[in-house]
Chain A
Amino acid sequence: MGSGFDLFGPEASREIAWSRRDFLRTAAGLTAGSALLGFSPLRAVALPRPQKAIVVTFGGGARDEETFAPDGQENIPCLMKTLLPQSTFFTQVVNRGILGHYVATASIVTGDYETFDNFAAVAPDNPTVFEYYRKDLRRPANDAWVIAPSNGFNRIGESDNRAYGQGLGAGVILPKHLLAAAMPKGGVVDYAHLLKDNYETPYYAPVLRGGEVEMKQLESVLKLSVGDFIAHARSLASPDELSVYIAKQLMRQIAPSLLWITLHDIDVAHAGAFSLYLEGIKRTDRLCGELWQAVQSNPEYAGKTNMYILPDFGRDSDLDAGGNGFQHHRTGDALSRTTWMMAMGPGIRQGAMVNRPIESIDLVPTLGSLFGFSARFAQGRAITEAV
């Protein structure tokens, strides 16, 4: 019950809180009134429509302070210099749901705030974007894929909703499960640390089971031999690099129209080491650039793909006494709920900025408007500036 001084008062909080409207002007050369003040959704109708979409969650929760705020911009050179000028940037993306990674990502995927236990391997209650997409547009199973980091996420491809559900969702690849299946059994190498998939308890490393299904994914979906896969994995520095490698392989072999990639390295922040958290952000920044580059260099994707990058949520404020700053996302304070989204591709204005608040559950209805399916159970609303 210490009284503290007014560093923690509401006035000071307002002062310290970075102005989201202003934060891009400093580095990106965007002006607050640019683009969108004169933006008319009708004009977009004439613009080319995308045929494919890639969604990347800038995973594991990242704060403004270490990304788009002035001191943080050095950590995201690729987003700032390469991708931002090509994007419409949404400065306030609010997540009003549960701030656990699986349940929050599932909420983005369904367009509804899912309420299940974050640590349970359960399917979302509401239909996923993959089900809407495939059922309404009669798309084949191979046209929607998810690449995700960990246990629990293996159920994110399709919901329990009776009108959708089994057989209508996305294929899910968990790269670490692939690795668990591919690595020689009983070897001397201790890779349990690598397979750790939940940073909430940093020492916690569940037993991952990779088996027949994963081996089949390697051979028939990704067209990779076990040897090649392991050899390549040994050249990569982190699980997210492995995820992006898998994504590129999937794009080359199957070229799905709807691809969802959940990056997660940043969540190492739960271990409390700020430098590792920054490394995670820098790596994720680079990997986002690599993905966009892969889009541009692949004829199946170039010129007809929209990419959306957004964190699932932020992390706690330094000033909220209930948390421990960047380490966790437990307080539910405004900073941990408010992030951003970058949208780029055909029909999306470049170098534009949208300051009005939107919600992370708005993404799926937006994709629905773009592709022509109805996200009928979603709570979110289509983002007019992105369709």
Chain B
Amino acid sequence: MQPSELNAMSFETYPAQARALAVGHLPLLQSLPLALLPLLLREVIAYDWRFPAERAEIDEQINYLQGLAASQRAELMRGFAAIKLPAELTQVDWVNQPQNFSEQLTAYLWSTHQIDGFRKAASEYGNAVSAATPVKPPETARLGIAVIGKGVQTTDYPIFRKLKAHGTLFTQVDPAGGLATLIDAVNTRAQAHPGAYRHWYIDGGEAMAGAAAGVTQLSYAGIAPTRRALIGRMQTWIDSGKMGPELLRTKLAALGPADLGMKADGERAVMGRFEISLLTEGSGTQIFATTFAQWAAREAWRRAQPETLLVRFGPRQRQRSMNETLLGTDTHEEPDFEGSLIDADMGAYYTWIDQQRLAGAQQGAFVAWFEGHEQAVAIGPGLPAGSTSEKPATLRQVMEWVS
């Protein structure tokens, strides 16, 4: 099917709000090239379960396209229209399975050496939309917090090596009451600027007590039942011997809350699907707590665009070596503290980078702390980059200086 053949019935299986959005802009959708439209529909089809910030972006993007004159829109679409697509791709049910189309499109673009042309078109399109729909800075400057190294007693690993180039490394932080201080900071901001999904606390292990009701919480331990259900399904598929990694990914993308024994209606609709997406779209999130925490923080920044985000990395399970596996030494459930610290150190750096992608980044602040220890790094407008402070300080003071 070509985009020009779309009609209102094409979207009958879409959830209510997504259907209304698509049908309300049918002539626009009919005019878009096939190399782009399914990618837009991939966002639209999940509109009912998107975070407020994502909905606003979808609305703005569609309104922007709608407001262009036909010639302007054609010019904007020139790069996508130049992509040559085979007839087989038009046979894919790209209206109802845009994710499936997207994967096949990607493989096709690579195999025909059109990936660079597509990247260029996508980049130009993204720049045009961004310029036309500038994102407003947040009501209050963003604050990101990463806590790493839970359970680590000593280490030789040079933590915060990447982050400290952008801020101040504190080497004499009093660790007493550190976690409570950070949770308090999140709670205070949530109370001062209340709103759904504006303040987050993500834990790579068991969630600490103390987060206020207005804080969106997510923990690796908390989603354990969903994770176990997912792994069980994956194992069944894999054991069938009929499934390669591509088909496996497609099946994962099609999983819904009910498939994994999750209730995700009402207020849980958005978060339930977000949690599933972390496990089905993330790579390694199913098996490593550190990967889960990093990916969850990234996706929260990217999708919900909160004003506050605290991520605490917990230890992940050990990766068994080959000889341990062959000898049947079952140690993989043991935590790997040192490895987890290294993972989390990089995860903290990525959490900061992902924060920088959002509007108002220059006003934002970021703090990373080695849990239970004296090292912290703080990045913010008031702190010099690449500096070190050996002055004794509390975490509360660091939080004040960085804000």
A-to-B contact residues, CB < 8 Å:
1-5, 7-8, 71, 96, 98-100, 113, 115-117, 119, 183, 188-191, 193-194, 198, 200-207, 230, 233-239, 241-242, 268, 270-276, 278-279, 318-319, 321, 324-328, 332
Contacts and interface: CB of A to CB of B under 8 A. Distances in A.
Contacts of B305: 2
A191 B316 CA distance: 21
A278 to B, nearest CB: 7
Contacts of B327: 189, 234
Contact of B284 (A98, A100, A202, A239): A202
B134 A3 contact: yes
A203 B319 contact: no
B328 interface: yes
A238 B322 contact: yes
A201 B116 contact: no
B326 A1 contact: no
Most interface-central of A3, A202, A233, A327 (chain B CB within 10 A): A3
B339 interface: yes
Nearest to B53: A2
B119 interface: yes
Q: Is the interface of A mostly helix, strand, loop or mixed?
A: loop
Nearest to B161: A71
Contacts of A2: 135, 305, 357-359, 361
A5 B298 contact: no
A194 B295 contact: no
B357 A274 contact: no
Interface string B329-368: 0001000101111110111011001001111011000000
Given A203-B234, A236-B323, A271-B288, A115 B112 contact: yes
A239 B322 contact: yes
Given A203-B231, A327-B283, A274 B342 contact: yes
27 contacts: A1-B57, A1-B61, A3-B359, A7-B356, A99-B110, A117-B107, A119-B244, A201-B245, A201-B248, A202-B283, A202-B286, A202-B287, A205-B238, A206-B238, A238-B321, A272-B283, A272-B288, A272-B290, A272-B295, A273-B284, A275-B338, A279-B339, A318-B349, A321-B357, A324-B298, A324-B350, A327-B284
B238 A278 contact: no
B115 interface: yes
Interface in B283-312: 283-288, 290-291, 294-295, 298, 305
B325 A194 contact: yes
Given A237-B322, A318-B350, A3 B130 contact: yes
Nearest to A116: B111
Contacts of A117: 107, 111
B113 interface: yes
Given A1-B129, A203-B231, A203-B234, A190 B325 contact: yes
Contact of A194 (B322, B342, B356): B322
Residue with the greatest number of chain A CB neighbours at <10 A, chosen from B249, B284, B294? B284
Given A71-B161, A117-B111, A119-B246, 8 more contacts: A7-B353, A7-B361, A100-B110, A115-B110, A201-B249, A241-B322, A271-B288, A273-B290
A237 B323 contact: yes
B246 A235 contact: no
B388 interface: no
Nearest to B319: A276
Given A194-B322, A273-B319, A207 B241 contact: yes
B143 to A, nearest CB: 16
A207 B135 CA distance: 49
Given A4-B357, A193-B320, A273 B343 contact: yes
Contacts of B357: 2, 4, 8, 321
A324 B295 contact: yes
A322 B117 CA distance: 15
Report, nearest first, the 9 A-B pairs whose CB atoms are least far apart: A272-B291, A271-B284, A275-B342, A272-B284, A275-B339, A274-B346, A2-B358, A115-B111, A194-B325
A238 to B, nearest CB: 5
A49 B356 CA distance: 53
